[in-house]
Homo-oligomer: A and B are copies of this chain.
Amino acid sequence: MAGVHPSTVSRVLRGKENIPIPEVTRQRIKKAAKDLKYLPDERARALRLGKSHTIGLVVPDISNVFFAEIAKSIEIESYKAGYTLVVCDTNEEQEKEVHFVNNLISRGVDGLIIAPVQDSDGHILDLKEKNYPFVLIDRCFEDMEANAIISDNEDAAFKAVAHLAGLGHKRVGFLSGRQNIYTIKKRLAGYRKAVKEYNLERNEALICGNGFTFESGYEATLEILLLPNPSTALLISGNIITLGAIKAILEKGLNIPDDISMIGFTDNIVSPYLVCPLTTISHPLREMGKKAFDLLIKHVESKDNLPFTEEIIKTQFHVRRSTDRVLSQVEAAW
């Protein structure tokens, strides 16, 4: 429409000022582009340039606020940095994760941020082998060196149990998420360490559950409540699980915190407004997202091979009403 060669259009629209093209032609091209509502084909550009200015984010459940918050902050950072973010939800299914990672690479994303399902790690090792830039977030692999932004799960769990011990609890239950996941392993380690240190009841039956769903939280809680000696407190590894636990507790006619204390692993905007305002461990999710993005971009935009960085982010502990002194049967009788 402007009567010039595509290459000239490209030079004008990409703003190559050093190539001499008279202002009249520039204007003619720009006007034509506007009139035609011309949008460059990013596929073709990416193909030619070998760079897509796109990054991929792979999370296990986008409908969980935990990952939604992370996604949101990475999205905001990407936008600011001129990158487009592609979000994929694996639904905690390994097969989908492999599919998405390959798919994203096929579409030429410049890098990946992954919160892995962790049923296997072959595809992650492939990434390392290909020297593909990626950052693990929230979950990493113990025996693998990689970029990772994680939180201090072990320490947080330890402190949470310590808090309960300080309130006189002797039997603390641990509602687990999927047990083969890094975060859960670490939290469990912290739990065990505190149980030992504060001399609480050691009983494998108090460690219950294997999943991040409402139902798995509900059922695991029932199992613990139906023990001959149910726990007087619960440490709960996930915010959807927490709701299942509340359901079970209410159904049994129990009161929080009088009959049972609870601590939620993962604070969110509703924690203070639940049936009983929930004591939680809170993760600075926005900060984690930003750090993961910055780290990824550093690797993407660097020519040489940077060494891997693993950063552990401190969590915070919010005491609300769901944790209180244990009422022993004797005290209760009073």
Contacts and interface: CB of A to CB of B under 8 A. Distances in A.
B108 A214 contact: no
A243 B273 contact: yes
A65 B274 CA distance: 16
How many copies of this kind of chain does the complex include? 2
A69 interface: yes
A44 B42 contact: no
A45 to B, nearest CB: 8
Contact of A105 (B39, B64, B246): B39
Interface in A33-50: 37, 39-44, 46-47
Given A65-B65, A108-B43, A246-B273, A89 B75 contact: yes
Interface residues of A, number: 51
A86 interface: yes
Contact of A39 (B63, B79, B91, B106): B106
Nearest to A44: B47
B63 A71 contact: yes
Contacts of A46: 43
A146 interface: no
Interface in A230-283: 240, 243, 246-247, 269-270, 272-275
